[in-house]
Chain A
Amino acid sequence: MGQGTKQVVLDVQALGVRLSDEFGVVVDRLKLHRGEVIVLDAPSGAGKSTVLGLISGAIAPDRSAKMVHMMSHQQIANRAPGPETMGFVLQTSALVPYLSVEENITLPCQVAQIAADSDWLSYLINGLGLQGLETRKPQQISVGQRQRVGIARSFLAKPALLLLDEPVSALDPSNVDQVESLIALLAEEAGAGVVLASHQAARGAFSGSPRAHHRTEVRGGTLYSVFDAELAA
């Protein structure tokens, strides 16, 4: 598939939120196609997670956005995008504590009432080193394993857009490269566009991926952390 025909999975303009009187986060422009990766590489506290929250619709913007992955923002606020549209790997590796590893992985598909691809599920479980842990509860596995469960959960429905919020921050340093490489491989296999928020991307599997421009500026007395990126299709 030529670059000219790639599907746009994310197209954002002027999406922002003022978190306090003193600080706000804005995405001036962010456009992404399937198979592309954009890294939000900014210092801690710059609002990288907030950008992902805005894109996902979890954080309601106070500025109007023209488009977010082909859905208006109002639509996103009323109805979360399905797992085949968007996957989200959380920094917090949050899992539902009373569900097993496999149930946590398939939960987004259950919520969306879509059938999970069992071959792809097995592939993810094996690829992420979770085999044998399927029936365990989150508190019975390590923090790193939980993070990998979160990754599998976000990949199961082969989403068009993947939002990765510091996906390897909870991992043992020796596993970081391996898991990050796996994420890159899985994203490629899923054909997803990836927005990666990370302050470690300079030395990992995504070290060669393009970065969003980041700057701070004062608008109306409020300091804004501004992200801006548009990759050529």
Chain B
Amino acid sequence: MKLPLFLASRELRHDWQAAACFIAALVGVLAPLLIILALKNGAIDAMLGRLVEDPANRELIAIGTGRHDADFFKKLTARDDVLFVTPATRSINAQANAVRNRQARKLVRKVVLIPSAAGDPISTTANVAPGVATLSTRLADELEVAPGDTIEIRINRRLNNVVETATQDVVVAGIVPAENYGRSALFIAVQDMVAIERFRDDASVTAEDWAEPRAMPETFASFRLYTRSLADISALEKNLAAQGVNVRPRAQNVELLLSFQRNLNLLFVIIAALAVIGFWAAMASNLRGAVERQRTSLSLLHLLGLTESSRRLIPVTQSVILVLGGVFITLLFVLPSIVFINRFFTPEGFERIAWLGPQHLFGTFVLGLMTAITASMWAVLAIKEIKSDEVLRTS
């Protein structure tokens, strides 16, 4: 083992220009591949990370209306993949005709009403309760309100061609961060949502008594539902569909991105495989050619008694040295390049766009080693054909 290693390394050192060209060729193939891999990892991971961090992307929106009873909500709440669920009224009733800040004389028309409760992943700054609400940052800015202020909700209904308006004062408990919810919206308790729906749907409820506490309905037309992770969306969606409850993910691009990631992975594997095959062929030819150039020396080594296995180890050792050397030099170029790319090309809001983990580096070395060993097989087979008597006749 020691002598073949010595002979292999000495030959490489002697023919260092050819070895350097070979390593340069490897770096030329491998470095772009690793940078593409780093960009693929970094960019996609960053996008997925942002999607994961944004709870809105984990919302399953109920399609149409249903009759969801307490048992339905109890079962959903008990599921591990459900982060948050709360009953909701029909979407037609999930809008206030206006919300007013009397002190600042500010009024916003057609404000979206969102049922909320403790544990709401969007309204995280304060809990709502009957008469207590949170506002999205945009709505708070429009109304010029701050936590502790009181705002007025105005609900209209048309009865016998007469428009009636009910109002209710609610206390602002908190402001929902803009990154959680970007549009104008008011987060209120389910009880308040139910009261609004009753006022609009039930003529017996008057504008004077509409806000008085009443028994909650036995069923709800809709719900707000969030999964614990992006990966839970698909399974929960199917589970609800099996119960006859149709939902759609708010972030339909999640599946698209996941699919894009899968396709990108496949594309990368195909590109890498083509590159590896091309490099493998070049390497195998190079090593086979080297055996031919060293035919007399190999015949002499045979004559001097170097065993066939030791002679065969020479091209294998050279192949491994060249490839591992090439991989090492590639990393000397690639790793600083990744640092450079992340430093100067990372968009605002992203931590990085290029990334290689230990598993990628380890995989590169293992793949390189396998390529080196298999590519040397042609040369190894050729060595068997070199007889010791060739050197007697070769000048």
The residue from B13, B301, B305, B391 contacting A92, defined by CB atoms under 8 A apart = B391
Q: Among A79, A95, A165, point to the contact of B305 (Cβ < 8 A).
A: A79
Interface size (A, Cβ < 8 Å)?
30
Q: Mark A87-107, 1 if CB is under 8 A from B, else 0.
A: 010111011111100010001
Chain B hits for A193, CB < 8 A: none
Contact residues of B between 368 and 395, Cβ < 8 Å to A: 387-389, 391-395
Separation of A107 and B3 alpha carbons in the complex (Å): 10
User: Which of B15, B296, B305, B391 contacts A111 (CB under 8 A)?
Assistant: B305
Interface class of chain B by DSSP: helix
**In chain B, what residue has the closest Cβ to A57?**
B388
Q: Contact: B393 with A108, CB < 8 Å?
A: no
* B305 x A81 contact (CB < 8 A): yes
Is B81 among interface residues, defined by CB-CB distance under 8 A? no
Which of B3, B11, B305, B306 interacts with A98 by CB under 8 Å? Answer: B11
Interface status of A112 (Cβ within 8 A of chain B): yes
Known contacts A90-B391, A137-B14; decide if A96 and B297 are in contact (CB<8 Å): yes
Q: Are A90 and B306 in contact (CB under 8 A)?
A: no
- Say yes or no: is B106 at the interface (Cβ < 8 Å to chain A): no
Q: A80-B303, A98-B13, A99-B10 are in contact. Are A111 and B3 (CB under 8 A)?
A: yes
Chain B residue at minimum C-beta to C-beta distance from A86: B305
Q: Are B15 and A96 in contact (CB under 8 A)?
A: no
CA distance A197 to B297 in the complex (A): 22
Indicate whether B61 reaches chain A with its CB closer than 8 angstroms.
no
Out of B387, B392, B395, name the residue touching A52 (CB < 8 Å): B392
Q: Cβ of B393 and Cβ of A49 under 8 Å apart?
A: yes
* B305 and A94 contact, CB distance less than 8 A: no
CA distance A95 to B13 in the complex (A): 17
Scoring B11, B13, B387, B388 by chain A CB atoms within 10 A of each residue's CB, the highest score goes to B388
Q: Is A110 an interface residue (CB 8 A)?
A: yes
Is A108 in contact with B304, judged by CB distance below 8 angstroms? Answer: yes
Q: Closest CB of chain A to B240's CB: distance in Å? A: 72
Complex CA gap A107/B310 in Å reads 14
Q: A97-B297, A111-B3, A111-B306 are in contact. Are A92 and B394 (CB under 8 A)?
A: yes
A111, B392: Cβ atoms closer than 8 Å: no
Answer yes or no: B300 CB below 8 A from chain A CBs. yes
Q: CA of A91 to CA of B395 in the docked complex: distance in angstroms?
A: 8
Of the residues B14, B15, B296, contact of A94 by C-beta under 8 Å? B296
Verify B303–A56 contact, CB threshold 8 A.
yes
User: Which residues of the partner chain A approach B303 to less than 8 Å between Cβ atoms?
Assistant: 56, 58, 80, 88
Is A83 interfacial (CB-CB < 8 Å)?
yes
Whether A82 pairs with B305 at a CB distance below 8 angstroms is yes
Q: Is the CB of B388 within 8 A of A80?
A: yes
Binding site for B on A (CB under 8 A): 49, 52-53, 56-59, 79-83, 88, 90-92, 94-99, 103, 107-108, 110-112, 137, 165
A-B contacts, 11 of them at CB < 8 A, read A49-B393, A92-B394, A92-B395, A94-B296, A94-B391, A95-B300, A96-B300, A98-B10, A98-B13, A98-B14, A99-B7
Q: Chain B: residues with CB nearer than 8 A to chain A?
A: 3, 7, 10-11, 13-15, 296-297, 299-306, 387-389, 391-395
